[in-house]
Amino acid sequence: MMMMVSEQTQASASLAGKTTTDVIKQSTNSLVVDGLKEITRGLLTVLKQHNTDPITLEYPEVMPELSDRFHGRLSLLSKSDGTDLCIGCQACARVCPCDDLIQIEMHRDADKKPVIDRFTIDLGRCIFCGNCTEVCPVDCIKFLPDFELADYSREALVLDKKDLTLNGEESDQWRKEHGLAVTVA
Amino acid sequence: MMMMSTPSSTLTPPDVKPMQGVSVEKGFDTNDLVVNIGPQHPSTHGVLRLITTLNGEVVKDMEPVIGYLHRSKEKMAESRSLFQYQPTIDRVEYLSSFYDHLAFVNCVEKIAGLGVPKRVEYIRMITLELNRITSHLLWFGTFLLDLGASTPFFWAFRDREEVFTLFEKLTGARMMYNYYRFGGVNADLPSGWLNEVRKFIDDFPRRLDEYEAVATKNPIVLDRTIGQGILTKETCLQFGVTGPALRAAGYAADLRKTNPYSCYNEVEFEVPVATEADTYARYVVRVQEMRESLKIIRQCIDNIPGGDGGELGLLKAKVDEATKAKKKDPTIEVPAWNSDWDMFGKKINLLTYKPPAGEASVFVESPRGVLGCYMVTDGTPKAARVKWRGASFSNLSCLPALMKGHMYSDLMAIFGSLDVIMPEVDR
């Protein structure tokens, strides 16, 4: 059957070079014996698995190890002193594939510094694609390795600025873990 | 001979005595029965409705009803910028979404003439082939589950999880990757990632052997697959069936070999072909393809320009620092940097990116067959038109022709062997 028999794939030798007709012929010589042989081989392979460790985790007692790139809950990092890092440039809102998921309202104070009045993310509609984290010019909006996001109502999934913002220490910790410049002023 | 029981032998009504108290004067009434299979059925792998006309237990006619999963993916492209549209492609064919992304970004690269560094092409090839393994593993598990074997399903999912953990480390997501970018990839390989992949591909052949020990020559599997659902080369070509189903019919059509894209012309691998064209041949071809994918991944890991991500990242940081310092002090020497090691051919601003007006079509070999993307751009950030050619649609369309004359109980074995995924059919 296989036209491409190669010596590297030793494991495929069971099939290589044989046609399905061969397999049938082999079986029909003594169908019962061959069948029993194969079923025994299969069952022995299954039995071998009994000695292996379980691969499942006893969640929630044991939590999975997540990579630092994990797409979890979105958050807003702050500067090291705890003030807002976001400059309200609307870049994240513009690349978001879900309409109006990220809503930002901002004004500028007397020194022309941006002040964020409102920043909401509707996690109920978020698809966790990561577009917003990629275009943010000040590395402010980022993912946290937090996946337990279920809640009792849709309204509770709309996170406002207070829910999203990490304080200065947490932000520094995040930047340290992800290899960014830690102190941001 | 048990194996070779032809479907026609089942056409005669079985010789059974009528139940007590039931008087049958003229024998069996042989009216056709129309059975509605699906749309919610555990074996349809999605939402597929099959209006089946049965004569006894033999399928006389069949009409697939599709569209339950239609989400207007092509129309969505016209109301979103290219970068905004990209995450939604993951949802077209979620079992091997790297392929959809490759077709999509290759279209943009073709239109805009963006070059891709060699390291990126190798990263793409590693992820693509790992993705082919996960896709075939899912097919392997569910196909045998359709045949009644539940153990291989759990084994396949166990090993699939391992690859998904690797993907999670690389892209941050297990199935919805959104990793490729126009002219590059989102981020470099994490430190030590290639070693983990190597560990997996070293161990995986042993597990494939275990799968084969359980399934490949199991008499029940052989009995239910050999000689069933013969999809000849001619039928394949009539319906546009591609992928493993076509290769199982003796046609060595693989775009990676015939029209190499990415860097597939630099790796050595073989295209598994079988001539029997039955369900069993499709099974054998897919299992063999997984072994070939391992070969490709191994060569890519050995030959990837720049090697592991960690050391390269440190060098890149040094180069960037020295380049910055050189502007002030021209005497500083910048460490050598090979353009092959870059993550982007030409870094573009995704927020404002506008490809020039043009059109391009790209075809790639996905685990299910030929996947095509056709794109027309008009100089705005949005695409004027995006058209997808999913392999599943064509592979499904041959099902009525394939099923005629087969037993109803073979339907899910034959349908499962085509490896159709409904979100790709409906889009």
A31 closest CB neighbour out of B2, B88, B173: B2
- Whether B411 contacts B58, CB under 8 Å: no
Q: What number is the ipTM of this complex?
A: 0.77
* pLDDT 10s digits, B288-320: 889 889 999 999 999 888 888 777 878 878 888
For B397-424, what is the mean pLDDT? 85
- Label residue B217 by pLDDT band (50, 70, 90): confident
B17, pLDDT greater than 70 = no
Q: Write out the two tokens for B8.
A: 């026609």
Query: B363 by DSSP, 3-state: which?
Result: strand
- All residues of chain A having their beta carbon less than 8 Å from the beta carbon of residue B86 are 97, 129, 131
Share of chain B above pLDDT 90, in %: 15
* Domain A74-177 is found in CATH 3.30.70.3270: yes
Taking alpha carbons only, the member of B226, B213, B230, B63 closest to residue B149 is: B213
Percentages of chain A per state (helix, strand, coil), in multiples of 5:
35, 15, 50
Nearest chain B alpha carbon to A3: B273
- Whether B243 contacts B367, CB under 8 Å: yes
Give me the residues paired with residue A104 across strands. Answer: A119
Nearest CA distance, A77 vs chain B (angstrom)? 19
B-interface mutation test, from A2, A32, A92, A94, most B Cβ less than 10 A away:
A2
Beta strands per DSSP E along chain A: 74-76, 102-108, 114-122, 141-143, 158-159
- Whether B424 contacts B392, CB under 8 Å: yes
B132: domain CATH number is 1.10.645.10
* pLDDT 10s digits, A4-60: 433 333 333 344 445 555 555 555 556 677 778 778 887 888 888 888 888 888 888
Domain borders along chain A are: 10-51, 74-177
* pLDDT 10s digits, B29-67: 667 888 888 787 766 677 888 888 888 788 888 888 888
| Per-residue pLDDT, B23 | 52
| Per-residue pLDDT, A106 | 85
Taking alpha carbons only, the member of B92, B31, B131, B50 closest to residue B414 is: B50
B100 is a domain residue: yes
| Per-residue pLDDT, B21 | 53
Nearest chain A alpha carbon to B77: A97
Nearest chain A alpha carbon to B213: A42
Q: Which residue has the tokens 């400059």?
A: A87
Beta-carbon separation of A15 and B212 below 8 A: yes
A15 closest CB neighbour out of B85, B186, B216: B216
Q: Find the distance separating the first CA and the last CA of chain A, reported in whole Å.
A: 68
Amino acid letter, residue A92: C
Q: Based on the structure, what is the number of domains in chain B? A: 1
Q: Which residue has the tokens 């299954």?
A: A46
Nearest CA distance, B273 vs chain A (angstrom)? 6
A-interface mutation test, from B4, B5, B208, B222, most A Cβ less than 10 A away:
B222
B150 is a domain residue: yes
Measured CA to CA, the distance from residue B170 to residue B191 in angstroms comes to: 10
A-interface mutation test, from B5, B214, B344, B348, most A Cβ less than 10 A away:
B214
Nearest CA distance, A1 vs chain B (angstrom)? 5
Nearest chain A alpha carbon to B314: A179
* pLDDT 10s digits, B310-356: 778 788 788 888 888 888 887 777 777 777 777 777 788 888 888 89
Measured CA to CA, the distance from residue A37 to residue A34 in angstroms comes to: 5
For A155-173, what is the mean pLDDT? 85
Query: B338 by DSSP, 3-state: which?
Result: coil
Beta-carbon separation of B172 and A91 below 8 A: no
* pLDDT 10s digits, A84-142: 888 888 888 888 988 888 888 888 888 888 888 888 998 888 889 888 998 888 888 88
B351 closest CB neighbour out of A15, A31, A91: A91
Measured CA to CA, the distance from residue B269 to residue B132 in angstroms comes to: 14
Beta-carbon separation of A129 and B178 below 8 A: yes
Beta-carbon separation of B295 and A8 below 8 A: yes
B417, pLDDT greater than 60 = yes
Query: CA distances (Å), B254 to each of B136, B270, B292, B369, B415, in order?
Result: 16, 10, 13, 8, 22
The boundaries of the domain holding residue B318 are 73-426
Report residue B321 CA to chain centroid gap: 42
Nearest CA distance, A115 vs chain B (angstrom)? 22
H helix or E strand, kind and range, residue B224: helix B219-225
B282 is a domain residue: yes
Beta-carbon separation of B284 and A42 below 8 A: no
